[in-house]
């Protein structure tokens, strides 16, 4: 089933990420980590559907997406970046992507953090965040989505990793990307659940490293 919903507010989160808050249809519900197919309710774009994860909580009065805008592509996110308050999304029913299976380590690359936002917000609200860690990889400090919120929720269990610059004292600089040695340094228990999301190569590498370090395949939760 499809729903046409108006955008109520737009907030710029980073230089290329925007947060869209929009109407919630009556009776619409989802679980943290779920996504839906989204189209823009404008000529030539209604059939161009893309998956986006909800970053609001189910009990919130409105729905929310946090979306990275690619202005160099003449595509859906470029068009989304041009939307204004009052413009409309067309959304479908929610479907499952990443499901929380208990305290563990969240490994995110860039905009791949978005499926984790609602999960971590719900755990924080329920005072059940203890035992979870977020390792968040980005190119530069300006790319880190919701840094302040993650620091507030997770304290020392939020680890920001940068690959292209040294950033701030709160960032760990790697000359390259997260590798097996880094994971071994940061994680002591490979028997816990691992949640992985990011670009395809990031997911592939993390899954390979985690398995080599002893993680059980059943404990690995990733976006398919």
> Closest Cα to residue 21, out of 69, 55, 72?
55
Give 66-112 as a DSSP string. EEE--TTSSSHHHHHHT--TT-EEEEE--B------SS-EEEEEGGG
Q: Is the dihedral of CA 183, 185, 186, 191 positive or negative?
A: positive
User: Number of folded domains in the chain?
Assistant: 2
- Indicate if 28 and 78 belong to the same structural domain: yes
Which pTM value belongs to this model? 0.94
Q: Which of 92, 114, 144 is the last residue of a domain?
A: 92
Quote the domain boundaries for residue 212.
105-222
Q: Quick one: CA torsion of 84, 86, 87, 90, rounded to 10 degrees?
A: 130
Residue 191 lies in a domain: yes
Fill in the DSSP letter of residue 157.
G
What does the angle CA 125 – CA 131 – CA 137 come to, to the nearest 5 degrees?
90
**Direct distance between the N- and C-terminal alpha carbons of the chain, in angstroms, rounded to an integer:** 22
Q: How sure is the predictor about 224, in pLDDT bands with cuts at 50, 70 and 90?
A: low
Fill in the DSSP letter of residue 170.
T
Rounded to whole angstroms, how far apart are CA atoms 93 and 73?
A: 27
- Indicate if 112 and 195 belong to the same structural domain: yes
Contact between residue 10 and residue 85 where contact means Cβ atoms under 8 Å apart: yes
Give me the mean pLDDT over the 167-180 stretch: 80
pLDDT of 187 above 80: yes
pLDDT of residue 177: 81
- Indicate if 39 and 126 belong to the same structural domain: no
- Indicate if 127 and 216 belong to the same structural domain: yes
CATH of the domain at 183: 3.40.50.80
pLDDT tens sequence across 71-124: 877 789 999 999 999 999 999 999 987 899 999 999 999 999 999 999 999 999
- Indicate if 88 and 109 belong to the same structural domain: no
pLDDT tens sequence across 152-169: 999 999 999 998 887 777
Residue 84 lies in a domain: yes
pLDDT of residue 162: 94
Residue 100 lies in a domain: no
As given in the structure block, the two tokens for residue 21 are: 């808050």
Q: Is the dihedral of CA 215, 217, 220, 224 positive or negative?
A: positive
- Indicate if 115 and 193 belong to the same structural domain: yes
Burial class (CB in 10 A: 0-12, 13-18, 19+), 47: exposed
pLDDT of residue 58: 97
Residue 46 lies in a domain: yes
């Amino acid at each position: 089933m499809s729903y046409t919903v108006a955008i109520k507010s737009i907030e710029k989160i980073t230089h290329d990420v925007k947060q869209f808050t929009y109407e919630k249809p009556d009776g619409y519900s989802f679980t943290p980590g779920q996504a839906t197919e989204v189209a823009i309710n404008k000529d030539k774009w209604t059939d161009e559907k893309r998956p986006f994860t909800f970053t609001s909580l189910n009990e919130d009065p409105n729905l929310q997406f946090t979306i990275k805008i690619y202005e160099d592509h003449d595509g859906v996110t470029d068009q989304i970046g041009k939307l204004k308050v009052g413009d409309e999304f067309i959304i479908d029913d929610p479907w499952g992507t990443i499901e929380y299976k208990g305290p563990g380590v969240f490994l995110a690359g860039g905009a791949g953090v978005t499926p984790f936002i609602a999960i971590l917000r719900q755990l924080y609200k329920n005072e059940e965040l203890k035992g979870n860690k977020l390792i968040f990889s980005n190119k530069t400090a300006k790319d880190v989505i919701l840094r302040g919120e993650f620091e507030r929720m997770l304290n020392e269990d939020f680890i920001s990793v940068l690959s292209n610059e040294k950033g701030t004292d709160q960032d760990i600089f790697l000359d390259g990307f997260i590798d097996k040695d880094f994971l071994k340094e940061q994680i002591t228990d490979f028997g816990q659940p691992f949640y992985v999301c990011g670009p395809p190569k990031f997911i592939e590498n993390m899954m390979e490293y985690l398995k080599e370090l002893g993680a059980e395949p059943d404990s690995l939760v990733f976006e398919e």
